[in-house]
Amino acid sequence: MGYEERLPNLRELIAASVSLEDIVYPISFTYEGLFVNILEIMKYPRPGSHGYLVVVQVGDKGVVSKPFTIDCQNVNDMVIKLREEVLKFKYLRRVLPKRELEKIVT
């Protein structure tokens, strides 16, 4: 069994977590066929509530993105925004040669 076969998927991660504060990071999992690394989760105050900055990397076997942040309010919001980022990465991987993709995301 390879490393990627032992990674949890996003559904398993969400099922085990009630809030972003429950996620012990760094954590790696698969989503839409890509590797996702959550490197850090930072809570910050917002007017009337709070928010989270989630530091994430997305990649596959050949290319891994630079760490970037997702600003979200809860786990569901993070999943929606993470899905958008994963779809962007998959689109770029499909339409660009590997060297061009590496220049853009790394």
For 36-55, the pLDDT digits (tens) are: 999 999 999 988 888 999 99
For the segment 60-78, the average pLDDT, to the nearest whole number, is 91
pLDDT given at position 61: 80
pLDDT of amino acid 89: 95
At 39 the pLDDT is 94
pTM, two decimals, is 0.80
- Kindly list the domain boundaries of the chain, sorted by start residue: 3-105
DSSP string, 55-72: EEEEE-SS-BPPPEEEEE
Q: What is the rounded average pLDDT for all residues in the chain? A: 84
Looking at the predicted structure, is the pLDDT value of residue 99 above 60? yes
- Nearest alpha-carbon partner for 94 in 30, 33, 9, 38: 33
In terms of pLDDT, which residue wins out, 105 or 10?
A: 105
